[in-house]
Chain A
Amino acid sequence: MAFRAVKEKYRSKVGEAILGATKEQGGTRGYTITVGGESTLPFLHFEGEIPNRPVVALEVRDVAPSDWHACFSAYYGDVFADPAAWAKKCVEEYAADLIVLHLEGADPDGKDASPEDCAKVVLNVLATVDCPLVILGCGKAEKDNKVLPVAAEAAAGENLLIGVAEQENYKSLTAACMVHKHNIIAQSPIDINICKQLNILITEMNLPANRIIIDPTIAAVGYGLEYGYSIMERARNGALQGDNMLAMPMIGNVGYEVWRTKEANSSIEDFPGWGLQEPRGILWEVTTAVALLQGGMNILVMRHPKAAALVKESIAELMQKTELEN
């Protein structure tokens, strides 16, 4: 008897979001990136459409990172002091689809850079690379509420993705994204209910749902990845069953989570049974990323260029339809 694939019929699909704007669209990007649009669970090509492949972003900081493992110096050491050159290297040498610029320098307990100085860095990076850009604040809400609106205004028209908005602090960033026409990252603490509520709160301020990207908060393999994963699964199933307030594409800070684990950083001298540190860290990052792809992650923010390359290879394979699916 011939094999017949059992297909689930879904009511709805994941929304599509467009990042970046070309000259014709009022920005200066060389291309735009569309994420989302799936009408089935991840990579089930036989069942529905997966119109846009997941994308890989590399992380750039406006100040040289003090907490990154020494192994990164071999890749970024020459550009750590220059975020624009760093971004250029990520795009040209390491084939990043887009750049995540982390405005760590704004941190009041660190460099305490002014909003204007932060905006300058954003403009510099925009002038140097032509890929769509994600910008993240320093994580201190009070300061971010000053920095991000200024950066959003300086980059008006570029259709950036800016984060993060949280349930307790979403209004000023939402307003800035509304006025200056950017997309927003809505971050919830591994909580599907807050995730949905935050999306509702943001859309109630009239920012369209297709300009929201969900950050469900993820963890590395071995550190509770399955909690974030199960949130992603519920959001995806919700989206496909018609829950518009969970139907946004998702972003995850893979590099950040992986490279603070013991497994990625410990030397072989400390744990002789674990093998060499750098390839181990790369594999930890790749494994985390690939697991999240299966949960429906659309934008992977990664750190190690070799891990990024391996994940891009994996995405290319996952996006190929098999014999069954043709």
Chain B
Amino acid sequence: MFIIGERINGMFKDIAQAIRNEDPRPIQEWAKKQEAGGARYLDINTGPAAKDQVKTMRWLVEKTQEVSKLPLSLDSTNYDAIEAGLEICKYPAMINSVPAEWPKMERVFTMALKYNAAVIGLAMNEQGIPKDADTRVALAMELVAAADSYGIPMEDLYLDPLVLPCNVGQNHGPEVMQTLRQVKLLANPAPRTVVGLSNISQGTKNRELINRIFAAMGVASGLDAAVADACDHELIEAIATARIIMNLDIYCDSYVEIYRKQQK
């Protein structure tokens, strides 16, 4: 499981301010910090405050790429903004994200093919986030079938079962875990899985603890990627350890350092 660094997001105050003042320094500092922490992708989210989404996305991509060679995950519901970012990405990027809805899937999968990008597919549609695993898996299947019809390889499709904060959506937890396991059976080769990790702890007082336990449980359920805080060292330690316990990496005394290094 690898980490998509979540920090370059206009929802954070320092990033929102940087966008407003056109000051690249906070963006670039976070890019470097997350890369050093062990992120393998950097998520780029313009946030709701940016007036011109297209222009802001392009600026964030440019400034990030000046200091980091990590591939980017372009995070927006505005597909024009995503396309503007894809046009200038130096490395194959990830589109974050598309729900199981037409014509959104058509727009996103066409873009993904054109720019050789991976896609995060959300297990939801016009009716919102499903309550149970079965409905999530059914929507995941729609995403798999649609991606396949556009010729997107399954290794480039990341299915997100959608995580709700554990204090308000507690009944979703086991459904998410079950979805992670079941979507692996939808195709061969199997599609990948991803979660917005920090969602699980929104509004709680033990955010880091909840995040890392969830990450470890995710690894046990076959989770491939998480949009998360790459600078949370204990989170990285928990993931590295879960990977050892699941026999995904071969143990050695320096396994944590090696996991961190190999993400780069």
Contact = CB atoms under 8 A, between A and B. Distances in A.
Q: Counting chain A CB atoms within 10 Å of each CB, which of B252, B254, B257 scores highest? A: B252
B189 interface: yes
A196 B250 contact: yes
Contacts of B252: 193-194, 196-197, 200, 245
B99 to A, nearest CB: 29
Nearest to B155: A9
A234 interface: yes
B192 to A, nearest CB: 13
A234 B250 contact: yes
Contacts of A243: 249-250, 262
Interface string B238-264: 000000000001111110011000100
A242 interface: yes
Contact of B251 (A9, A193, A242): A193
B250 A238 contact: yes
B249 A200 contact: no
A252 to B, nearest CB: 20
Contacts of A194: 252
Contacts of A244: 262
A193 B251 CA distance: 5
B250 A193 contact: yes
A192 interface: yes
Interface string B212-249: 00000000000000000000000000000000000001
A197 B254 CA distance: 7
Given A242-B262, A244-B262, A245-B258, A197 B253 contact: yes
A246 B252 CA distance: 11
A238 B244 CA distance: 13
A238 B250 CA distance: 7
Nearest to A243: B250
Contacts of A246: 250
A246 B258 CA distance: 11
Q: Counting chain A CB atoms within 10 Å of each CB, which of B249, B250, B253, B262 scores highest? A: B250
Nearest to B189: A9
Interface residue tally on B, bucketed by range = 10 to 19
Q: Which applies to chain B's interface (DSSP): helix, strand, loop or mixed?
A: loop
A194 B252 CA distance: 7
Contacts of A192: 250-251
A200 B250 contact: no
A87 B254 CA distance: 41
Interface string B104-134: 0000000000000000000000000000000
Nearest to B249: A243
A245 B262 CA distance: 9
Interface string A171-197: 000000000000000000000111011
A244 B257 CA distance: 13
B224 to A, nearest CB: 12
Contacts of B258: 196, 200, 245
A149 to B, nearest CB: 26
Nearest to A200: B254
A249 to B, nearest CB: 17
B200 to A, nearest CB: 27
Contacts of B251: 192-193, 196
A238 B254 CA distance: 16
Contacts of A245: 252, 258
Nearest to A9: B189
Contact of A193 (B189, B253, B257, B262): B253
Nearest to A238: B250
A287 to B, nearest CB: 28
A278 B257 CA distance: 50
A127 B262 CA distance: 42
Interface in A240-264: 242-246
A205 to B, nearest CB: 13
A205 B258 CA distance: 15
A9 B258 CA distance: 23
A234 B248 CA distance: 12
Contacts of B262: 242-244
Contacts of B254: 197, 200
Nearest to B153: A9
Nearest to B254: A200
Contacts of A197: 252-254
A244 B249 CA distance: 11
Nearest to A11: B155
Contacts of A193: 250-253
A9 B189 CA distance: 10
A304 B252 CA distance: 37
Nearest to A201: B254
Top 8 A-B residue pairs of the complex, sorted by shortest distance between their CB atoms: A196-B252, A197-B252, A200-B254, A197-B253, A193-B251, A193-B252, A238-B250, A192-B250
9 contacts: A192-B250, A193-B250, A196-B258, A200-B257, A238-B249, A243-B249, A243-B250, A244-B262, A245-B252
Given A9-B189, A197-B253, A200-B252, 8 more contacts: A192-B251, A193-B251, A196-B251, A200-B258, A234-B250, A238-B250, A243-B249, A245-B258
